Structure 1
Amino acid sequence: MTGSRITNHQSRSYPRGVLFDLDGTLLDSAPDMLATVNRMRAVRGRAPMVLEALRPHVSRGARAMASAAFPDVPPEQVPELVPEFLAVYREELGLHGRPFEGVEALLAELEGDGTRWGIVTNKPETLARDLLPGLGWASRCGVLVGGDTLAERKPHPLPLLHAAQALGLDPGSCVYVGDDRRDIDAARAAGMASVVALWGYRLDDDDPAAWQGDAMIEAAADLLDPAVWPGR
């Protein structure tokens, strides 16, 4: 069955360029984040946090995760926790997380079709770049843009426009795949088609349909079908 599906795909093509968010889209990094906040909680004499409580906050960054881990800390004091979070996270980086199911097959299929792919994340660039060798992506990822690479970060379109230029592609020939509203807003502002990664992280009250992405996809493996990709 798998063989016949791949044969059918060979008569079609994927977008010329695909850009991905990292956490919650390519990588299930929530276990690394959980190890981080639980080390912070332990030194304060607090019980471990469970994964299900942290997972929805992962795509929103260090500040959101620190706030979720320490809900009694006043909002104006949460930024003070971020440097500690990042320092501990660097020690847990890549030790617990793994690519989402279907991601490795998808990347291989894109590469086999000649599609260039890259990563645009709001994670600090050094942290994102340090993850790539362990995932086997360092030589395969055509461009990596972090949240501190440029003067702007998502939802501003600059990171996506920069990434497309680095790949030598027009933004209109690229598709951006992400699991957060900021991803979809950035893609729209950059003139790129977008895919909402429903397998990623989001809060219970988020309504991904309201983000108005060009496609909503339940699982990474569904993107193995070229027909579901928008913008071509």
Structure 2
Amino acid sequence: MKKGCLFDLDGTLVNSITDLALSTNEVLKLHHLPTHDISQYNMFVGNGVKKLMERALGPEHLDLLDVCLQDFQKIYREHCLDHTIPYDGIEELITYLKKQNIKLAVVTNKPHALAIQIVEHLFPDTFVAIYGQQDLYPVKPDPQSTYMALMEMRLDKKDCFFIGDSQVDIDTGYYADIDSIGVTWGFRGRQELENAGADYIVDNPYEIMELIQNENRG
């Protein structure tokens, strides 16, 4: 029986790619560097802000990494909710899970303060635990932040799903020994989820409701 769901944030609960891309491009402009099409950022995100900036800068400009990260934090903090909204069906899914007394958590590689800012604005009073990237623990797919969320939820790993849109999330579920659900509406698509070995793959949030119903019916 499933009693909890741990969600990735970007590409899973919310479509944040435009704000991430525009903020990163603004940093690149500040340093007179070429920018990237928004579509390219689908492959830049997922491993934390440092890796996002490394990919955007390219190997020839990594000497600017530290100052660009500082610039990004300032710019993105001001613009992280300009275009970022929940995916279609997510609010209905969250409402359903809460009615079923399913405990909810967010485990993301987005910086912790920004994760809290976005989650609490778009989903107030909803998640038992929110864990973003901090120096206290490694980024996903290391399972440490997931274990901390489980402790705060007071649930065993066998009682939960880990839900995300990329290999990083499926690997996190694997390393934490939690059943994983890959979502195809995010930044990476079905092929990456299949290659990563997701336990389940869904094409819309309503299929997660069905999975919960089937698990808890049997």
TM class by shorter chain equals 0.7 to 0.9
Q: Does 1:37 align with 2:24?
A: yes
- Name the residue aligned to 2:53: 66
Query: 1:28-177 counterparts in 2 under 5 A?
Result: 28-45=15-32, 49-71=36-58, 73-75=60-62, 77-135=64-122, 137-148=123-134, 150-177=136-163
Segments of structure 1 that go 5 or more residues without pairing to the other structure are 1-13
Q: Give the CA deviation at 1:154.
A: 1.4
Q: Aligned residues, how many?
A: 217
Distance 2:83 2:116 in 1: 17
Could you tell me whether the CA contact under 8 Å between 2:183 and 2:202 is conserved in 1?
Answer: yes
Segments of structure 2 that go 5 or more residues without pairing to the other structure are none
Range that drifts further, 22-31 or 148-157: 148-157
Q: Does 1:220 align with 2:210?
A: no
Aligned CA distance change for structure 1 residues 208 and 193 (closer, same or farther; 3 Å): same
- Name the residue aligned to 1:189: 175
Q: What secondary structure does 1:169 align onto?
A: coil
TM-score, normalising length: structure 2: 0.86
Q: Give the CA deviation at 1:152.
A: 2.9
Range that drifts further, 138-147 or 70-79: 70-79
Calculate the aligned-residue CA RMSD, in Å.
Answer: 2.7
Amino acid at match of 1:215: Y
Distance 2:32 2:150 in 1: 47
Distance 2:66 2:202 in 1: 34
